A and B are shown apart, each in its own frame.
Chain A
Amino acid sequence: MALVGVLALQGSYNEHIAVLRRLGVKGVEIKKPEQLETVASLIIPGGESTTMAKLAEFHNLFPALREFVKMGKPVWGTCAGLIFLANRATGQKIGGQELVGGLDCMVHRNFFGSQLQSFETELSVPELASKEGGPEVFRGVFIRAPAILEVGPQVEVLADYPVPANKWKDSNPGVEGHEENSGSEKKVIVAVRQGNLLATAFHPELTADTRWHSYFLKMATETEEGASSSIVAVGADLDLNQPTKIDLPVFL
C-alpha cells in the first residue's frame, strides 16, 4: 500500500498519524514540496489555517498542493484542511489567506464562534455507516470549527448539522435573503465528498473511532488500482462490534 502523507506544518498531524498507525498504515510528515512526490494520498490536518497558509507560502507548497489535487489524488481536509480545499471562503482575516482549492463549496471560517462555542455532538452519518459499518452516528468534535454554507452540484453531502436561525443571522450579518426562514432551523454542511476530495469540519483524529480514516484509505486504494482488496482495515472492523469505550481525546 502506498504511503499516506500528512501535511505537517502545524496542528494535529501527530493525531492523524496515530490513527493511521492503528489501522496499520504508515503516515509520512510532509513539510516540503518535494516530499509530496513520495505519497499517493494526503491528509491536511486540523489546526490554524492562517498559520498553515503562511508556512505553506514560505516554502512554496501551494503550487505543489494544487498540482496534487488536480492530478486527482485523494486528499482529505479536516477543519483547517477543509478551508484549504475550499474554492471560496468567508470570515477570513484581514487580507485573506491563500487556499489550495478544488472543492466546489463556500466555507465559513470559525462559523460557530470561538472556543466557548466549541462543542461535540452525535452526527448522523448514514453514508459512512453503510460503507464502514458501525453505528449510524459519529461523535463529532467541533473546535472553533468552520461550516460549509453552499456546495456545488458535484459535491456529495455526507453529514450536516442543524443551526438555529437566529444564530445563522449572527454569523452572516451580510446575508439578508434568509428572512423567510426565521423560526425554523437551518442546516450547515459539515462533511462532504467530491470525487477524490474528502472534507470534514470536525475532527475524527481526536476520537478513537477510525471509520473516517478507513473510509479515506479505501478512497486511496480505489484510486491506485481497480483492485478491491482493502488494506489492513481488518482491525477496525473488530472494534466496531463492541461499544466504543475510550472515545476522546486521544494522542499518540
Chain B
Amino acid sequence: MADSGVVTVYGKGAIYETGSAKKSSYPVKVGLAQMLRGGVIMDVVTPAQARIAEEAGACAVMALERVPADIRAHGGVARMSDPQLIKEIKRSVTIPVMAKCRIGHFAEAQILEAIGVDYVDESEVLTVADDDNHINKHDFQVPFVCGCRNLGEALRRIREGAAMIRTKGEAGTGNIVEAVRHVRSVMGEVRVLRNMDDDEVFTFAKKIAAPYDMVMQTKQMGRLPVVHFAAGGVATPADAALMMQLGCDGVFVGSGVFKSGEPARRARAIVQAATHYSDPEVLAEVSCGLGEAMVGINLSDNNVERYAYRSE
C-alpha cells in the first residue's frame, strides 16, 4: 500500500534502496521539485543569460550549449554540454541549475552529478544514447526529470527513479500543440483512472504498460505522484497560462525566451503568467508590447524531426 508517501515499494527498500549510503532519499529528491512548483525554468547558454533569467524571476535555469531550436538547425549528434560551461553558469546564479544528459547515457549523468548540478534532465532533445533503456535513476543522488507523452510513459520513468516529470512537447518549435496533446493525454488518463473500479486497474496498468503499484498510487493520489511541468514549445505568456490551467505544476521555457526579440521582457512576462495564470487581466497586461516571439516551426511540415517519438 502507499505507506511511504510517493514511491510504494515491494517491501521496504526492495526497489530503491540498493545499499549506497550516500544516496539521498527519494523524498528529498522530490522535495526540490515541489519547491519549483508554480515557477518557470529557462534554458540558458551563457552566464549572462543565466543572470537575465534570475533577474526576471526564473526559479531555476537549464544550462546547455545550444537551445533546442539551434540543435534542430545545427543537426548532427547533440550531446551533454561542456561541464566547464555548466560550472560557470552555476557560479553566476543562486537559483538551482539543471543540465541535460542523453537518454540512457549514465556516464554523462555521473559527470553532471560530479559537478554538482541540482537536477539532471534525461532529455530526448539530445541524441538518444540507448535505444532500449533509460538510466536507472535510483543509482544516483542527484534527482532526475524526464519527459513523457502519456501516463504510461510518466509512470515508467517514475518507477525508474525520476523525481519530476515534464511533458515532451516538441522542443525547439515554439509550437504548443504537442505539449497540449501530451498534457491532455496524461490528465485524461488520470481522470479515467480516478473513476475506475479498483479491480479494473490491473488491466489498465497492462494496457498503458506501467507498473501496477505506480498506477494504483496515481489513482489514490488523484494525480501523478510527482511534480508535473509543461515543456516543449512554450513561447508566450498565454502559452504558459494555458499549460498551468490545463493542470501543470510549472513551465519549462527553452528556445522561447532567448530566441525572442526581447528576452528579458518576455522572461518576466512568462514568470508573471505562471503565477497569475487564472487572472486574464494580468495576462493581458503582461502580454502587451513584448516584441517578437520566436518564429517557430509548423509541425505539418514532414521534414521536422519529432523528438518526442525518439523514446518510450
Distance (Å) between the CB of B289 and the closest chain A CB?
15
Cα separation A110 to B116 with both chains bound (whole Å): 14
Question: Is the CB of A232 closer than 8 A to any CB of chain B?
Answer: no
Interface string of A1-34 (1 = CB under 8 A from B): 0000000111111110000000000000001000
Interface size class of B (residues with CB under 8 A): 35 or more
A110 touches B59 (CB 8 A): no
> Would you call A120 an interface residue if the criterion is a C-beta within 8 Å of the partner chain's C-beta atoms?
yes
With A48-B59, A58-B272, A95-B55: A249-B39 Cβ-Cβ less than 8 Å: no
* CB-defined contacts of A116 to chain B, threshold 8 Å: 24, 113, 116, 118, 141-142
Q: Which residue of B lies closest to A52 (CB)?
A: B57
Contact status A93-B31, CB under 8 Å: no
Q: Contacts A9-B275, A203-B31 given: A54-B95 contact, CB under 8 Å? A: no
Q: Provide the residues of chain A in CB contact with B113, threshold 8 Å.
A: 116
Please report whether the interface of chain A is mostly helix, strand, loop or mixed according to DSSP.
loop
Chain B nearest CB: distance from A61 CB in Å?
11
Q: Decide if B28 touches A141 in the complex (CB within 8 Å).
A: yes
> A208 to B223, alpha carbons, bound, how many Å?
18
Contact B223 A252 (CB under 8 A): yes
What is the distance, in angstroms, from A150's C-beta to the closest C-beta of chain B? 21
Residues in A whose Cβ lies below 8 Å from that of B56? 54
1/0 per residue B31-56: CB within 8 Å of A?
11011111100000000000100111
Q: Which residue of B lies closest to A58 (CB)?
A: B272
B301 contacts A by Cβ under 8 Å? no
| Number of residues of chain A lying within 8 A (CB) of chain B | 47
Bound CA–CA A31/B268 (angstroms): 16
Our pick among A9, A114, A248, A249 for the contact of B116 (Cβ within 8 Å) is A114
Q: Is the CB of A144 within 8 A of B118?
A: yes
- In the complex, are the beta carbons of A206 and B39 less than 8 A apart? no
Q: Is A46 an interface residue (CB 8 A)?
A: yes
Q: Of residues 62 to 103 in A, which have CB atoms within 8 Å of B's CB atoms?
A: 79-80, 91-95
- A218 CB–B CB distance under 8 Å: no
The answer to whether A252 and B222 touch across the interface, beta carbons within 8 angstroms, is yes
Q: How far is the CA of A98 from the CA of B49 in the complex (A)?
A: 22
Instruction: Give the Cβ gap from A191 to chain B, nearest Cβ, in Å.
Output: 17
Contacts of B274 in A (CB 8 A): 10
Instruction: Pick the interface stretch among B2-10, B76-84, B203-211, B292-300.
Output: B2-10
Question: Is A149 close to B, CB under 8 A?
Answer: no
The one of A31, A113, A115, A246 in contact with B275, judged by C-beta atoms closer than 8 angstroms, is A31
A118 at the interface (CB under 8 A from B): yes
> In the bound complex, how far is the Cα of B276 from the Cα of A54, in angstroms?
14
Which residues of A211-252 have CB atoms within 8 Å of chain B's CB atoms?
245-252
Q: Is the CB of B37 within 8 A of A94?
A: no
Measured in the bound complex, the distance between the Cα atoms of B247 and A230 in whole Å is 36
Q: In residues 105-120 of chain A, which contact B (Cβ within 8 Å)?
A: 109-110, 113-116, 118-120
- Residue numbers of A with Cβ under 8 A of B are 8-15, 31, 46-48, 50-51, 54-55, 58, 79-80, 91-95, 109-110, 113-116, 118-120, 141, 143-144, 203, 206, 208, 245-252
